[in-house]
Amino acid sequence: MPGTPERERWELIWSDEFDGETINTENWTYDTGAGGWGNNELQNYTEREENARIEDGILVIEAREEKYKASDYTSARLKTQELQTWTYGRVEARLQLPTGQGVWSAFWMLGEDISSSGWPQCGEIDIMENIGDPNTVYGTVHGPGYSGGDGVGSSYYASGTSFADEFHTYAIEWLPGEVSWFVDDLLYNTISDSDVSGVWVYDHDFFIILNLAVGGLWPGYPDETTVFPQQLLVDYIRVYRDTELTIEDLQGGSVHIAEMTMELEDVGEAWQGTAYLTVVDQSGNPVEGAVVSAGWVGAKTGSINEAKTDERGIAGPFIAQKISSKKELSFCVSNISKTLYDYDKGLNVQNCVFRSPEE
Query: HSE on the CB side for 21, CA within 13 Å?
Result: 0
Please say whether the beta carbons of 256 and 344 come within 8 A: yes
Report DSSP letters for 320-340, one per residue. E--B-S-S-EEEEEEEEEBTT
- Asked if 303 contacts 267 with a C-beta cutoff of 8 angstroms, the reply is no
Q: Is 11 a catalytic residue?
A: no
Catalytic residue among 62, 124, 173, 306: 124
Query: Residue 219 in 3-state DSSP?
Result: coil
Alpha-carbon span 277 to 281, nearest angstrom: 14
Q: What DSSP letter does each residue of 44-56 carry, written as one string?
A: EE---TTTEEEET
Active-site choice (41, 62, 112, 129): 129
β-bridge partners, 342: 254
Give the residues across from 238 on adjacent strands. Answer: 15, 92
For the residues of 134-182, what is the DSSP string, one character each? TTEEEEEEEBTTB-GGG-EEEEEE-TT--TTTS-EEEEEEEETTEEEEE
**Which SS3 state, helix, strand or coil, does residue 120 take?**
coil
Q: Which residues pair with 14 in a beta bridge?
A: 239
Catalytic annotation present for 124: yes
Q: Report the candidate in 296, 293, 350 with the shortest Cα–Cα distance to residue 319.
A: 296
Q: Dihedrals φ, ψ of 149, to 5°?
A: -65, -15
Of 340, 322, 336, nearest in space to 280 by CA? 336
Active site residues: 124, 129
